[in-house]
Structure 1
Amino acid sequence: MPAPAPLPLSFSSRRARRQRGRIAVGTLLALLLLTVAAVLAWWLLTQPPRIERRPRAEVSPPLVDVIDAQHQAAAPELHGFGRVVAEREARLASRVAGELVEFTAEALPGRMVEAGTPLARLDDADLRLNLREAEAALVQAEAALAMERGEQQRAETEYRSFGRELTAERRALVLREPQLRNAEAEVERARAARDRARLALERATLSAPWRGMVQARLLGAGSAVANGTEILHLVDASRFWVRVSLPGEALAWLEAADAGRPGSPVTLATRTWPDGQTRSGEVIAILPALEEEGLQAQLLVAIEDPLGLENNLPALRLGDVVRLTFVARPREGLFALPAAALRPGEEVWLLDDEERLRRRAVEVVHRGETRVLVGAGLEEGERVVTSQLGQPREGMRLRPRIADRERPAGESGESRS
């Protein structure tokens, strides 16, 4: 088979030039596109973001509770805790030595006894013998006195028959006046011994010195007791005391009982009583010493008939811890505010006529748990803010809450679905 004939030289060179031309055009287009892309990217990066500005929504001022400041006669709420103690108690002790024979039926702990009631008896056999001896000695001394008086009469008769006057000193000896005085003294000594023996016999029986309640028997029957040995514990149940501690500034609001003037009233309550039941008392004394631990003032509150024996009220027991509410003496011209209305630094927040917050420093007369008493710094009718605010600022707008009495007729304070 014959070989193909070669192409002419001019045709091959024209084809090569066309290919080189297409490559150059493509490269130029690519560079142009890259340049355009780079310029566009630079323009986008250098342009600030466009934020569509919308009108700012109006924020409603915070809703707050307010009260109107009003002058009034006010007193603080004073509370305290105290322990019940006996106003009068006694530990009956034996005043003679002997054996404790028995307690009487009235000496039962918890039983009320009247004054003079026998409570315990000691063995009095020896005391009765002593009384008999003393009585016999008295009879003997009285007999000796009678004999001496007879001797004096005989001596006086002889002296008158003698017919001579003697000096006063010799005359007293002749008439046996010293012997008579000695016999009279022996009678008095015997009579005192008799009375002492009789008194010792009476003391062998222990009796209640006043009306009270037997708290405890301190010994058992059959015990040997000496002079001064305690046998019974007796408590006066007609009135108890409560010893209570209060801050020193509270004393300015209270009064202690004085001659013809009652003390500040007090209401007492304890957990051992049914709900709602209380007792009444009065402040009778302000003690001179402060409490050791808290350095607070100490007061005594008296409660009549604490065991409820006559008034059928709940019983108040010795050692019980009670909560006391004092009725303080009111003062005129004070502002009584809720405790939440007082801000740090002893200031309050006020709502002015333009509904803006204003700060005001005040004089705090008393700071309590639920309310405070302000003496100066407020004016009658000013609106005091009692609500809490997250970020309070002087002059910020506030919106007072509308009280139920100020709502339009037919508008309810609660939302309805």
Structure 2
Amino acid sequence: MPIPTASPRALHRAFPIARQRGRFHLGALLALLVSAVGLATAWWLISQPPRVERRMAVETPPPLVDVVVAQQRAAAPALHGFGRVIAEREAHLASRVAGQLLDFAPGTLPGMVVEAGAPLAHLDDADLRLALREAEAALVQAQAQLAMERGEQQRAQAEYQSFGRDLPADRRALVLREPQLRVAEAEVERASTARDRARLDLERATLSAPWRGMVQARLLGAGSEVTSGTELLHLVDVSRFWVRASLPGEALAWLAPAAGEESGSPVALTSRGWPIGHERHGALIAVLPALEENGLQAQLLVAVDDPLGLDGKAPPLRLGDVVRLDFTTNPQADLFVLPAAALRPGDEVWVLDEDNRLRRRSVDVVHLSDDRVLLGAGLENDLQVVVSQLGQPREGMRLRPRVADGERPAGADREPAT
């Protein structure tokens, strides 16, 4: 009887564990083989020396910098500051006699301009008129007493001459009534003075403007009882205002205050409240002896005529306003004018030599502002001064100049030395 044979599918179903174990051994062997090949490749790459590709060196061009050409000339700094407008002359007008304030004159209002000598206020003058009449009567009485005393002196003179004897001087003066005559004359003088005082008090009952000015304020109202010295009006002179400004002390060397008949340095004034393009003109009249308390700067006074523009169409200056002042300065000869960026720490500048190499120069700083610097000694004409910033400046480093204003610098066409 033939032996039955099993099919592959039957064998697979009969022995599944043996098949899986065969696959496991084959996968582990392949993993170990791949790891070994990777480690060998990595070891070979690490053990190989690095290969450096040699290239031709590229020459780095010198840094490009902006320069200006130094030229010696007469120059002056642009000085400006800010100042506050103050009155040159103002007065608190007071009554010099006692009485009742009747009323102010027409037009005596705050903000109105009054002319010199114009009446401003009137006081009740009834009592003053009576006092004047009394003083005039006293004067007439004293004059009559003097006339009678002169008659008595003439009579005494005639009697003395008829007496026919000479008396000593002191006795003769008594006989001729000379002391009585002097008393009578003194009484006339006293009465005349009292009359003039009463007349003056009557005139002072009307308060008048001492000069052309603007009424700042009325300090009392009509009907007020005032005494001698009571203030009635605040008046400001409109012919000229002052502007008090502050500048550093070294700026005074460029300015000239007024001296005698010569006017001081001209000053241009501008204000934010004025129309664009409008300005006023004044003159420096004095430098005050005291420094400003906060910044310890010099204080200056600038005078401006017709500040309110009453005689023209100029914009008005107002008391208390803050204005900008641009001073006209006196130039000095033989100075170098450079941008402020050209000055380096330690009062140095960077210049280029004939080979366009950087050189340091110590200079004498005459004036330094926000945008430019004035130098004295330390430079020569036609030197190229560097105004650009450099990250690591070195003495002797080569640079490429470019004139800031578009001019071609000296030596720009020359090939740099090797």
Instruction: Give the alignment's TM-score, normalised by structure 1.
Output: 0.86
Q: Counterpart of 1:52?
A: 53
Amino acid at match of 2:231: E
Q: Counterpart of 1:242?
A: 243
Cα distance, 1:41 vs structure 2: 4.1
Q: Counterpart of 1:61?
A: 62
Provide closer, same or farther for how the CA distance between residues 376 and 157 of structure 1 changes in structure 2, counting only shifts above 3 A. same
Pairs within 5 Å for 1:271-310: 271-310=272-311
106-115 or 198-207, which deviates more: 106-115
Cα distance, 1:85 vs structure 2: 1.0
Provide closer, same or farther for how the CA distance between residues 45 and 232 of structure 1 changes in structure 2, counting only shifts above 3 A. same
Cα distance, 1:35 vs structure 2: 8.4
Cα distance, 1:234 vs structure 2: 1.5
Cα distance, 1:2 vs structure 2: 13
Secondary structure of the residue aligned to 2:229 is coil
Q: Which runs of 5+ in 1 are unaligned?
A: 4-29, 408-417
Amino acid at match of 2:166: E
Secondary structure of the residue aligned to 1:92 is strand
Q: Counterpart of 1:255?
A: 256
Map Cα deviations across residues 133-171 of structure 1 (whole Å, 9 max, x no partner): 101111111111111111112222222222332222222
Q: Counterpart of 2:91?
A: 90
Secondary structure of the residue aligned to 1:65 is strand
Amino acid at match of 2:136: E
Map Cα deviations across residues 313-369 of structure 1 (whole Å, 9 max, x no partner): 111111111111111110110000111111222211222332332222211110011
Q: Counterpart of 2:129?
A: 128
Provide closer, same or farther for how the CA distance between residues 378 and 190 of structure 1 changes in structure 2, counting only shifts above 3 A. same
Map Cα deviations across residues 241-284 of structure 1 (whole Å, 9 max, x no partner): 11111101011111111123221111111111111111111111
Provide closer, same or farther for how the CA distance between residues 164 and 404 of structure 1 changes in structure 2, counting only shifts above 3 A. closer
Secondary structure of the residue aligned to 1:286 is strand
Secondary structure of the residue aligned to 1:119 is strand
Provide closer, same or farther for how the CA distance between residues 150 and 36 of structure 1 changes in structure 2, counting only shifts above 3 A. closer
Q: Counterpart of 1:335?
A: 336
Pairs within 5 Å for 1:7-406: 41-401=42-402, 404=406
Q: Quick one: distance in 2 between partners of 1:238 and 1:181? A: 51
Cα distance, 1:40 vs structure 2: 5.4
132-141 or 398-407, which deviates more: 398-407
Amino acid at match of 1:395: G
Q: Quick one: distance in 2 between partners of 1:35 and 1:117? A: 122
Secondary structure of the residue aligned to 1:214 is strand
Q: Counterpart of 1:411?
A: none
396-405 or 105-114, which deviates more: 396-405
Amino acid at match of 2:228: N
Q: Quick one: distance in 2 between partners of 1:297 and 1:157? A: 81
Secondary structure of the residue aligned to 1:289 is strand
Map Cα deviations across residues 166-224 of structure 1 (whole Å, 9 max, x no partner): 22222221221111111111111111110111111111111111222222212111111
Does structure 1 retain, via aligned residues, the 8 Å contact 2:282–2:305? Answer: yes
Q: Quick one: distance in 1 between partners of 2:187 and 2:161? A: 29
Q: Which runs of 5+ in 2 are unaligned?
A: 4-30, 410-418
Amino acid at match of 1:201: L
Secondary structure of the residue aligned to 2:316 is coil
Provide closer, same or farther for how the CA distance between residues 42 and 235 of structure 1 changes in structure 2, counting only shifts above 3 A. same
RMSD, aligned CA: 2.5
Q: Quick one: distance in 2 between partners of 1:160 and 1:262? A: 74
Provide closer, same or farther for how the CA distance between residues 35 and 142 of structure 1 changes in structure 2, counting only shifts above 3 A. closer
Secondary structure of the residue aligned to 1:61 is coil
Cα distance, 1:43 vs structure 2: 3.8
Q: Quick one: distance in 1 between partners of 2:387 and 2:2? A: 119
Amino acid at match of 1:152: Q
Q: Quick one: distance in 2 between partners of 1:390 and 1:188? A: 96
Amino acid at match of 2:361: R
Q: Quick one: distance in 2 between partners of 1:406 and 1:266? A: 38
Amino acid at match of 1:299: L
Q: Quick one: distance in 1 between partners of 2:136 and 2:36? A: 150
Secondary structure of the residue aligned to 1:206 is strand
Provide closer, same or farther for how the CA distance between residues 160 and 405 of structure 1 changes in structure 2, counting only shifts above 3 A. closer
Question: Identity over the aligned pairs, expressed in percent?
Answer: 71
